[in-house]
Amino acid sequence: MTALFNKIKEVTDLDGIAGYEYNIRNFLRTKITPLVDQVSTDGLGGIFGLKNNQNENAPRIMTAAHMDEVGFMVSEIKEDGTFRVISIGSWNPLVVSSQRFTLYTRHQTSIPIISGSVPPHFLHSNNSTGSLPKIEDVVFDGGFANKEEAISYGVSPGDIIVPKSQAVLTANHKNIISKAWDNRYGILMITELLENLKDQALNNTLIAGANVQEEVGLRGAHISTTKFNPEIFLAVDCSPAGDVYGGQGKIGEGPLIRFFDPGHIMLKNMRDFLLTTAEEAGIPYQYYAAKGGTDAGAAHLKHEGIPSTTIGVCARYIHSHQTLYAMDDFVQAQTFLQAIIKKLDRSTVDLIKEY
């Protein structure tokens, strides 16, 4: 598993929030260009590699991760040199304080900063036990003496702030702790898929890559599905594990059969196809009803309707600095995705779309 850990560390160490996915896009472009017939981008910055098919009747299959992780953006520089922020993607305020971040200026300079917290000494002196902070009230601090000094180092409103964290193995060497497995999981799934399929002939035209701005409303998927017009859309994304809270999604138990979320209900024929494929390939899976959405929710409403699903895994404590997840889940999900892509020929796609 050492090689897999190194690949995971490489992708999770990348920094990029919605609208600023260039690090991840550049990584993807380098990785996928030798593996596909052509590379294409959309107007918002989504990037996809195409494996073309000479058969004009071959179905168009799109599998897409998303490049963005959750983070923040500077909204205001205070006179004392500290910052206030707006969240880019959803955050639980309880996990924001007392953490390290990297701030990127418009000139790509990286500046170490921290999120502030109120020491218990101050709480006691004010006869207060504290309350749940609002994101916009959390102090972000780079150690600048005042506003003028912060500006002199290139800081300005609109600069992005990304969690500072590095991947480590757990003691049993089964799991990894890192930031951004949502959705660097998907990025690595795409590169590994194309690497494993590079010398194989498929019964479809494969469009594989990643969207932008998923964490702020599934925006990139609207654009890419409009551009590439697939017949089947497969989001590749990470969901929150509920195992330690008595809910669905247990790390180490295999990929998720995500049959419901607030923006997407899996079609019966798609469900049957996924279950049959997993069972034939001997892939463990678990059922999952989600409370959040993925790019499948946007994609399935485009054009005349695109049958869609999510090939996902779960991880504990997502949308924070420290996410914990199982390496074997990635291995099983990759095997599952390859089996799905290989089976999606014209007759299978027509069966999924049969009503």
Q: What is the pLDDT at residue 355? A: 83
Residue 131 pLDDT grade (very low, low, confident, very high; cuts 50, 70, 90) = low
Q: Pick 106 or 121 by higher pLDDT.
A: 106
Is 149 marked as binding a ligand? no
> Is the distance from CB of 284 to CB of 250 less than 8 angstroms?
no
Which residues are paired to 239 by β-bridges?
Answer: 314
Binding site annotation covers 173?
A: no
66 is in an annotated binding site: yes
Strands 160-163 vs 205-211: parallel, antiparallel or unpaired = unpaired
Instruction: Assign 332 a pLDDT band (cuts: 50, 70, 90).
Output: very high
Residues 6 or more apart in contact with residue 103 via CB below 8 angstroms: 74, 83, 110, 111, 112, 113, 140, 142, 155, 159, 160, 161
Distance between CA atoms of residues 92 and 43, nearest Å: 31
Distance of CA 76 to the CA centre of its chain: 27
Tens-digit pLDDT profile for residues 171-192: 999 999 999 999 999 999 999 9
178, 168 Cβ separation under 8 angstroms? yes
Cα gap 286→257, rounded to integer Å: 6
Q: Model confidence over 227-263: pLDDT tens digits?
A: 999 999 999 999 999 999 999 999 999 999 999 999 9
Q: Which domains, ranges and CATH numbers included, belong to the chain?
A: 2-69+179-352 (3.40.630.10), 71-163 (2.40.30.40)
- Tokens standing for residue 147: 């506003």
Annotated catalytic residues are: 214
SS (H, E, C) 110-144: EEEEEECCCCHHHHHHCCCCCCCCCHHHCCEECCC
Number of Cα atoms under 13 Å in the Cβ half of residue 309? 26
Asked if residues 248 and 257 have their Cβ atoms less than 8 Å apart, the reply is: no
Instruction: State the pLDDT at residue 1.
Output: 73
Helices 327-343 and 2-12: crossing angle, nearest 10°?
A: 90
pLDDT band with cut points at 50, 70 and 90 for residue 133: confident
What mean pLDDT is predicted for residues 114-140? 74
**Is the Cα dihedral 266, 58, 221, 277 positive or negative?**
positive
DSSP letter assigned to residue 102: E
215 is in an annotated binding site: yes
The pLDDT > 70 percentage for the chain reads: 96
User: pLDDT averaged over the chain?
Assistant: 95
Contact 123, 353 (CB under 8 A): no
107 is in an annotated binding site: no
Written as six digits, the tokens of 112 are: 């170490």
Instruction: Report d(CA 170, CA 24) in Å as an integer.
Output: 26
- My answer on whether omega of the bond before 183 falls inside 30° of 0, hence cis, is yes
